[in-house]
Amino acid sequence: MAKKTSAASQAPKVTTATIHDQKLLRGAGGELHQIAEGKAPVLTTAQGGPVADDQNSLRVGPRGPLVVDDFHFREKIFHFDHERIPERVVHARGYGAHGYFETYESLAAYTKADLFQRRGQKTPAFVRFSTVAGNKGSADLARDVRGFAVKLYTQEGNWDLVGNNIPVFFIQDAIKFPDLIHAAKQEPDRAFPQAQTAHDNFWDFISLTPESMNMIMWIMSDRTIPRSLRFMEGFGVHTFRLVNAKDESTFVKFHWKPKLGLQSVAWNEAVKINGADPDFHRRDLWHAIQSGNFPEWELQVQLFDQKFADNFDFDVLDPTKIIPEEILPPQPIGRLVLDRMPDNFFAETEQVAFMTQNVPPGIDFSNDPLLQGRNFSYLDTQLKRLGGPNFTHLPINAPKCPFAHFQQDGHMAMRNPTGRVNYEPNSSGEGPRESPTRGYRHFPAEEQGTKARLRPESFADHYSQARQFYISQTAPEQRHIASALTFELSKVETPAIRERMVSHLLNIDETLANTVAQKLGFRAMPKPADAAVPTRQDLAPSPALSIVERGPKRFEGRKLGILITDGVDIKLLKGLTAAITGEKAVFELIAPKVGGVKASDGTWIQAHHMIDGGPSVLFDAVALLISADAIADIVNEAAARDFIADAFQHCKFIGYDQSAIPLLEKAGIDSERDEGVLPLPGDGPSAFVSELGKLRIWDREPSVKLGNA
Ligand code: HDE
């Protein structure tokens, strides 16, 4: 019979964690910290008790059961188990930054809003950018609207301008929002596709909702695949009111214009970026701000009165319509600069609570039914997401101006009124009092009518502005819209839905409808959809609607990817990188090994990526600095050929030194192909870099038969 051994005798040797010498210190807030002598603070429990061993839970014997006395383990696991809060029902994936808004000149003639009273006045700001449909962990380059939510901590309370990067919306009445979002998000039985509108439910709903057609043109354009959060516009969407000290109201539409111009990527590129770097947009914003390249937007306003509204072609309360900038030019009134990343993503970006109803005195609402529905929804959602009514106690949501009220108690109350009196009126003279002069007064608009569920006639034209958007695009942008529609509808399994969509397109632009039908392989064209109002053919194109027309003037803020090998011409590399830096752009080096290369002068140069890890979709333009000795190996490297072939098919500028020509050839590219394939040094690195400001050679696109050409 085998001899029984005790558990203890089989046990591995037990080691005891070293406990550093400690000394008690009292922190500035009066709390006790235990600080290791001259070293890091001592780890404590959430109750402040010092922890001796954070590696091993408390157990009976080396191989025995854990014991309930282990309050440190219990608290640690308990807290971890409760780390998640519900993600936002829409706009779940987001990224935020701090900054400030600076007023150019007093706007007192139009508004009494404190932040617009004084020239040069600065107001702290927090901005959260987001995608709409995807879950929190989805990829940044989904084809989707981007949220552009701005919280301005004014001296008279927080003002949240909760906008998007597109100035119109899908629906005219908030009651349809749950249907729209259900249809857009993953289908409920199968839970896919995620972060994509390319599926039956979305297009089924859309094809039954003609009011969405203007928005459809916008979301099928490159606006929904921005190159960077820094290179996109923001819009308040709805008509709001400015109200001055005399209680006079002016209607207003808000626009954020990026200082570095607009830029989007190509669809084929977006798909690849999502694989190469799903955090592409966050990484871009993080690096720009951390390196001191603070992104900036100008706030511009379209101001108009009732007379303009009465004479305008469309109803200014209809959120599916714009007022073209050529008809009513926006006026610049200030700038927004983002200059600081949050210290903690969860505390700030995740817990920030934007609410359209947060407006300071001097800003008011219009009767846009979508806006009014939103004013109802946003407070509600915070309660669910943040778990109680005291979310304004969180630092990111708290006002930065003095505030005083009698709201008290509730979950996680971190501030309660002090003293005996917690009601108003009171005879003690304690506590805050209302102020008829300083307090918020709603604009006394006169309203009348019969209570009914209805949609006004003035909202009935669903196609004219969709057409105007389409005809305002440049040729490559029109091609991209046709390709995006084709791609999305090709993922729709039900032929009747595809046909219904094309029947709407016939009301927008016949050529567009025919192109999409032909690319989808229709055997017969459907009839145009019934339209409540015929499409107006007389609306003038608005060049302001094109991204290409509003592109940057220079390469500033963009990124060049330079493929280098051992023996790289150091003079050329130094000249190129100096020219890029001089342009206020950045560069990254891609090499066969991330450890780096030995340059022509024998110096060692570190790389940022190995070729597989740094595909050209991550860059706005590329340069090939390959030595004659290295070319034979690199032409056989598939990732190097993809690097250059992708840059070419995405219509990017390509600079090359002579010895790189075999790589171009192996990727099927003629080195004299077009004005975007340029020899280096050629006219010198600076001349090459100044060409890069054009960003893309879109004329190349039809011939490379890109998916979106
Ligand atoms: Fe939102 N929207 N929305 N929305 N929205 C939310 O609020 C809602 C709409 C927008 O970064 C939710 O805190 C309704 C238009 C942004 O935290 C929710 C309707 C525009 C963000 C909500 C709309 C927006 C949200 C979800 C139809 C552009 C993200 C989480 C009437 C002008 C803010 C939250 C952030 C978020 C409701 C339509 C922009 C549920 C009912 C139009 C940028 O309250």
Is 377's C-beta closer than 6 angstroms to any atom of ligand 1? Answer: yes
Strand pairing of 654-656 and 677-679?
Answer: parallel
Ligand 1 centroid to Cα of residue 282, in Å, is 20
Secondary structure in 3-state letters for 258-272: ECCCCCECCHHHHHH
- 3 state DSSP class of 168: coil
Q: Which residue has the tokens 């606006």?
A: 223
Q: State yes or no: 128 annotated in a binding site.
A: yes
Question: CB of 183 within 8 A of CB of 202?
Answer: yes
Task: Dump the DSSP string for 392-457.
Answer: GGSTTTS-SS--------STT------SS--SSS-SS--S----TTTS-----------------G
Phi, psi (rounded to 5 degrees) for 155: -75, -10
pLDDT digits (tens, 9 = 90+) for 593-652: 999 999 999 999 999 999 999 999 999 999 999 999 999 999 999 999 999 999 999 999
Phi, psi (rounded to 5 degrees) for 572: -65, -45
Q: Which atom of ligand 1 is nearest to the CA of 147?
A: 43
Structure confidence at residue 705 (pLDDT) = 65
Task: Dump the DSSP string for 321-342.
Answer: ----TTTSPPEEEEEEEEEE--
For 428, other C-beta atoms within 10 Å of its C-beta total 9
- 3 state DSSP class of 69: coil
Alpha-carbon distance 476 to 334, whole Å? 33
Task: Read off the tokens for 126.
Answer: 């927090």
Task: Dump the DSSP string for 569-582.
Answer: -HHHHHHHHHHHHH
Structure confidence at residue 708 (pLDDT) = 43
Q: Phi-psi region for residue 557, left (φ > 0), alpha (ψ -120 to 50) or beta? A: left
Is 170's C-beta closer than 6 angstroms to any atom of ligand 1? Answer: no
Write down the pTM of the prediction: 0.94
Alpha-carbon distance 405 to 168, whole Å? 37
Ligand 1 centroid to Cα of residue 143, in Å, is 18
Alpha-carbon distance 678 to 699, whole Å? 16
Alpha-carbon distance 175 to 336, whole Å? 33
Strand pairing of 331-340 and 597-598?
Answer: unpaired
Q: State yes or no: 177 annotated in a binding site.
A: yes
CB neighbours of 512 closer than 8 A, spacing ≥ 6? 470, 478, 481, 482, 485, 505
Q: How far is CA 572 from CA 555, 684, 689, in A?
A: 19, 9, 13
Cis bond upstream, residue 534 (ω within 30): no
Ligand 1 centroid to Cα of residue 382, in Å, is 11
- What angle, rounded to 10 degrees, do the helices at 570-582 and 685-692 form? 40
For 75, other C-beta atoms within 10 Å of its C-beta total 14
Q: Which atom of ligand 1 is nearest to the CA of 319?
A: 42
Phi, psi (rounded to 5 degrees) for 59: -145, 165
Is 130's C-beta closer than 6 angstroms to any atom of ligand 1? Answer: yes
Is 359's C-beta closer than 6 angstroms to any atom of ligand 1? Answer: no
Domain 94-166+234-393 CATH superfamily:
Catalase core domain (2.40.180.10)
Alpha-carbon distance 560 to 575, whole Å? 14
Alpha-carbon distance 269 to 639, whole Å? 15
Given the cut 0.90, state whether the ipTM is greater than it: yes
Alpha-carbon distance 555 to 585, whole Å? 6
pLDDT digits (tens, 9 = 90+) for 432-474: 999 999 999 999 999 999 999 999 999 999 999 999 999 999 9
Q: State yes or no: 423 annotated in a binding site.
A: no
Ligand 1 centroid to Cα of residue 607, in Å, is 42
Sites in the chain below the pLDDT cut of 70? 1-38, 705-709
For 275, other C-beta atoms within 10 Å of its C-beta total 11
Q: State yes or no: 88 annotated in a binding site.
A: yes
Q: Which residue has the tokens 């009767």?
A: 367
Question: CB of 116 within 8 A of CB of 103?
Answer: yes
**Could you tell me which of 616, 613, 587, 611 has the C-alpha nearest to residue 266?**
616
Please give the sequence-ordered ranges of beta strands (E in DSSP) within 173-239, or none if there are none.
234-235
* Catalytic machinery residues: 91, 164
Which of 282, 377, 383 for a ligand 1 pocket mutation test, highest count of atoms within 8 Å of Cβ? 377
Task: Read off the tokens for 185.
Answer: 């998000």
Is 169's C-beta closer than 6 angstroms to any atom of ligand 1? Answer: yes
Q: Phi-psi region for residue 666, left (φ > 0), alpha (ψ -120 to 50) or beta? A: alpha
Q: Does domain 555-704 have CATH number 3.40.50.1820?
A: no
Question: CB of 233 within 8 A of CB of 255?
Answer: yes
> What is the dotted CATH code of the domain comprising 10-83?
4.10.91.20
Question: In the chain, where does the domain assigned CATH 3.40.50.880 lie?
Answer: 555-704
Question: In the chain, where does the domain assigned CATH 2.40.180.10 lie?
Answer: 94-166+234-393
